[in-house]
Structure formats: C-alpha cells, structure tokens
Amino acid sequence: MAGYRKLSRTSSQRKALLRSQVTALLFNGKIVTTEAKAKEVRKIAEHLIALGVKEKDNFEMVKVTAKVARKDKDGKRVKEVVDGKKVTVYDEVEKEIKKDLPSRLHARRQMLKVLYPVKAAVEGKKKKTQEVDMVAKIFDEIAPKYVNRNGGYTRIVKIGQRKGDAAMEVLLELV
C-alpha cells in the first residue's frame, strides 16, 4: 500500500496542490477542501507546527550596527551634494536582532521547502501588498499556542457532499 494518497494527479501537481493548501491553512487558520486532500494536508501542516513548537525559543539576541538612510519629515531620503553628485546621507543605528541557532535554522529551511510566499493586502490600501513571512508567523504566533499540546493541532469537520460530484467536503482548521 502506498504511503500517501495520489489524488489523481502527477507528482508535481500533487506537490504544488498540497503546498498551496498547507500555506493557505497556516495563513488563514482554516480551509474548505475534500476529505482526501484534507487528510494529506493535515500530515504536512502538523509536521510544520511540530517543528515550530520544538524550535520556538531556540535563538539568541544579537546587537548589530546597520546603516540606515536619513529621512526628512515627508519620509523621503535626505541627499547632500558631494563632489558635484547627490549622495544619500546614512546614519549608523544599533539594532537588536534574533539570530537562529543551527537547529532552528534547519527547521526554518525545512519549512521554507514546503511553504509558498504569501502576499497580503496592507490595511487601507487597495493595490499595496506586502509579503508575509510565514515561517516567522509559525514561530511567533502559531507555535506558542500549541506548546503544551502533544500533536493534534488540526481538526477536520465534515460539511457534507459537494453538489457537482458528491465529493465529501470538510473544513480543515487549526485547533
């Protein structure tokens, strides 16, 4: 017996479908799909969440100095003339950043193999979109909710049969 459902697709199509559904599940918190797809998506999503829970606090804070462009009151870069050319003025700023330890870095890369990049609309702006860091969302928002839970991060609720082909539709959601 096979270790996975083929879902009547080629391997590349199946992989793309599952990746997109896992990304949608983790971004939105729930998706509606067929029962067979939901059971496959559940396996992958639970594995990613388990990785996030395991490596949630595995980082160190590091102070770094960075060059940041000086901005005026309108938010535009300040420029000055040097040797007849306009040059942007930079300030050195000290920042504190998270530095992943090796095992968390490995977990991050494992997650990035599965998750697609997500672009979300910015509040109040019609055509402006911003890329969401899904791995950071797993580590910072999703994993802390499931620290005291041993697996079972998702729930499948049957909705009923789809009208077109009578496939069983389910709601797959994070618990």
pLDDT tens digits for range 35-56 = 999 999 999 999 999 999 999 9
- Which residue pairs, CB below 8 angstroms and at least 24 apart, start in 40-43? 40/4, 40/5, 40/7, 41/172, 42/154, 42/156, 42/172
- Rounded to two decimals, the pTM is 0.85
Q: Provide the token pair at 24.
A: 């949608």
> If you average pLDDT over residues 67-76, what whole number do you get?
90
Domains of the chain, residue spans: 1-56+136-175
Q: Is the pLDDT of residue 1 over 70?
A: no
> If you average pLDDT over residues 69-81, what whole number do you get?
90
> If you average pLDDT over residues 57-81, what whole number do you get?
92
120 or 107, greater pLDDT: 107
CATH architecture of 1-56+136-175: Alpha-Beta Complex (3.90)
72 in Cβ contact with 78 (< 8 Å): yes
pLDDT of residue 127: 75
Q: Provide the token pair at 140.
A: 């910072």
Helix residue ranges, H only, the chain: 11-28, 35-54, 102-114, 134-137, 143-145
Report how many helices (DSSP H) and strands (DSSP E) the chain contains, helices first.
5, 9
pLDDT of residue 125: 67
